[in-house]
Structure formats: structure tokens, C-alpha cells
Amino acid sequence: MADRYLSFTGTAPGRFLTRRLGLPQPTALRRWSPERPGLDGGLLHLTAGKTDLDLPPVLARAGLGEDDTGRPAAVVLDASGIRDVEGLAEVHAALHPVVRSVAASGRIVVLGAPLDAADHHQAAAQQALEGFTRSLGKEIGRGRTVNLVRLTTAPAAESTLCFLLSPRSAYVSGQVIEVGEHGSAAPHDPGRPLAGRTALVTGAARGIGEAVAETLARDGAKVAVLDVPQAEQDARRVAGRLGGIALPLDITAPDASARIAEALPDGIDVLVHNAGITRDRRLVNMSAERWIQVLEVNLASVLRTTDALLSRGALKRGGRIVATASIAGIAGNTGQTNYGAAKAGVTGLVRSLAPRALAEHGVTVNAVAPGFIETKMTAAVPLFIREAGRRMNSLGQGGLPVDVAETTAWLAHPASGAVNGQVVRVCGQSLLGA
């Protein structure tokens, strides 16, 4: 369903009226397209504190030239060397003069360092960057995003910086992403980074799952489109369009993992857990059946399938697991105690399994946590609740399925091996749950 309010505020009468009434004035976001794959403008690279990061070669590969207009499309502030409260003054000094000049739908990326457990002054200063980043994201407006990346080496963060400094990250703001020390080799073809790889996407016959399948196929993957037998026709339609294969299969079935491994005998490079259902009721009115159904599909099947495919060796070394969490699992949601529990469980799975999966199998484990995304399901939500969902984030609008898909594609990227155990919210920086 079209966001008529967003369209109205883009007109001259809409801008005038909403300004006079003090109403939100969201800016239509710039998303990736083949015709406009990058941001419109240059990059401003700033530093606060002493840094050891060799950023210029990495930033150059983000595709943005140096800004010479005074209206940068992106600003990268390297604050990784800040070690005390006094150093935070340099953060203010660097960004205060330029924030207003960042172009609409522009990007600000703050670079920080991991917290030093042996130096509480450094830890306090670096943690302060998180509060700074989230606060700036909520006030900057005009479709601009602000994110914090904690890193120790610049090369390991290349895929992350390229994502955050591009239109692909249009609906990702206010996030703190930790990047490890050891990255992965860049793909031979940057335009098709998943060429030669196989991706399995569950719940892929429609909605967000279909968008994920499309985006991974765009990036070169051979995609297996898995969905329940009732959606077989849609699954075959999507698979046929993408040159992939359809797997009509109930992911909760006891033999689901065996059938997946049989259908994909050469192994899986990317496993995307997207299948999910809702059975909303307040707890006092929720039957045990509704509770069990949601926990079974959204959490138990994710655990079983992941364990089985890892133990079988069906997930190749260098592989990627991307699960779908939710804002409901972070902030909670009325009428969704079952769904919130299941999605919070996904977060727990990611954080616990990630280090072991990488050490034992060479596989990373991350999650995306969507906020209000414009789908057929949200189109059926009552008007006032739907409008609240759209406006209660820093970007003042709902996201699109492609926003979740682009974030998934970044986590699935062969060069994203240093990104592990992260839960990245795709929510336009929801005003709930930070």
C-alpha cells in the first residue's frame, strides 16, 4: 500500500502545511538501482584523536571521490583513537561544522574501537560514541543515516563500509556494528560477488523472502526458494524467474534438513532463515496452540535446521548464515509475546553460535531485525496503527522488503567474514528499543 503521507509531504503544499502544523516531514529515500548505484556526491574523511587505521585505500573502493563541493554525500569520522573524555571534544569539533551540509539521503559513519576492558577511561569514551551516534541519527533528518562501526583494522571492514556508504543501506540507521580483525578475500567480480555460490532462502515465495532471493540472485547466487507446499506455485514462479530451484517443504518437518541436503548435494554457501508466522493475541487470550505454532516455525525450526546442516557439513567453509530476528524481539510488542519470544530467541542463537560456528566450521552467523516493513501483512494493519508504525522511526517512514534484502546480501557477501554475531536492525532507527 502506498504511503500517501510521504508522497504528500514531497509536494510544495505538503511541505508548507506539515511545517506549519509541526508534523513529521520524511524524505523519500534513495535506494540502489543499476542506473544510480552510488550516492550522489563525494566523501569527507575526518579524524578525531590519534588513529592507526589506514583508511584511504578502503574508502577509495567505496566508490566515492573526495568531496570538493562543501555538500558531501558521506562523512566518515575516524574516532577510533579517542581514549578519554577530553578526546570527545574532538568529535564535536569535527562534526559540528559539517553536519548541516551533508546532502539529503547522505551518510555519516563514525568509526570507533572495541572497548578496552583494562582501561575504563577508553571504554567510557568509546561507549560514549554509541550514545552520540544514536542521538545524532534521531535528529539529523532529510533521509540521512548515522551508524557506528567498531573495528581494529580497516581492510576487514571494507564490505561493511561499502554497504553503509551506499544507497543499499537506506533504511539502516543508528546501528552499532562490530567488525573483527580477520576479513575475507574480495570476490573476483565485485558486481556479482555471489557468483558460483548457492543460497537457500526459507519463506521465499513472497514478501521479504522473495526480495532476499531476488537480491542474492542479482549478486550472482544460485537460489533455492523454499516455502510451504501450499505456496508451491508462488515458489516455482519466483525460482523460475531467478533461474533457481523451488523447494516446496515445511521447514518444521522432522526430515526437512535431510531433504534440503538431498536437494542441494553440492552444499550451501548462504543459508537465510526467513520463514516466519504470526499468531497474535494478548497473553491472557492466547491459546497454547498459537504459542507453540509461532515458537516452532520462528525459532525451533531455525535451531534444528542450523544444527543439522552444520553437523552434516552441508554448509561450506566460508559460508554465511543470516537469520531473521525482529524489533518485536528487542522492544516487545503488544499481542506478540509468542513472536517476541521467538525473535529474541533468534538473537540468542546468533550471539551464542557465532564464535563456535566460525571456529569449527568457518561459517559466520548474523541476523537482520526488521522494523516496520511495507508488505501485504502490514497493509492489512488498521490505519492508525499502520501510520504509527511508519512514523515512529528517525526516517519517518516504513521500510521496503528490499531494505532487508540488501542488508542480508551484505552479511552474505564473501568479504564480510569479519562480521560475525551481529544483529543489525533494519528499522529506520525505530524510536522504540533504541
Is 19 among the domain residues? no
d(CA 293, CA 278): 9
* Domain-located, residue 191: no
Considering the domain architecture, whether residues 290 and 236 belong to the same structural domain is answered as yes
- Cite the active site residues: 339
Decide if 434 is inside a domain.
no
Region 109-118 average pLDDT: 97
* Confidence band for 18, pLDDT divided at 50, 70 and 90: confident
Asked if the model's pLDDT at residue 434 lies above 70, the reply is no
395 and 294 inside one domain: yes
Residues 232 and 125 in one domain: no
Are both 274 and 390 inside the same structural domain?
yes
The residue ranking higher by pLDDT, 10 or 259, is 259
Mind listing the pLDDT tens digit for each residue in 274-295? 999 999 999 999 999 999 999 9
Question: Does residue 432 carry a pLDDT above 80?
Answer: no
Per-range mean pLDDT, top range of 1-15, 336-350, 376-390: 336-350
Residue 16 falls within a domain, yes or no? no
Domain stop point among 150, 178, 206:
178
- Same domain for 376 and 296, yes or no, is yes
Same domain, 261 and 147: no
Check which CATH number belongs to the domain holding 202 and give it: 3.40.50.720
Structural domains in the chain (count) = 2
Q: Which domain holds residue 236?
A: 198-426
Residue 288, pLDDT score: 98
Examine residue 11 and state whether it is found in any structural domain, yes or no: no
- Does 156 share its domain with 213? no
Looking at every residue in the chain, the average pLDDT score rounds to: 95
Same domain assignment for residues 129 and 165? yes
Quick one: pLDDT at residue 300? 98
Residues 152 and 274 in one domain: no
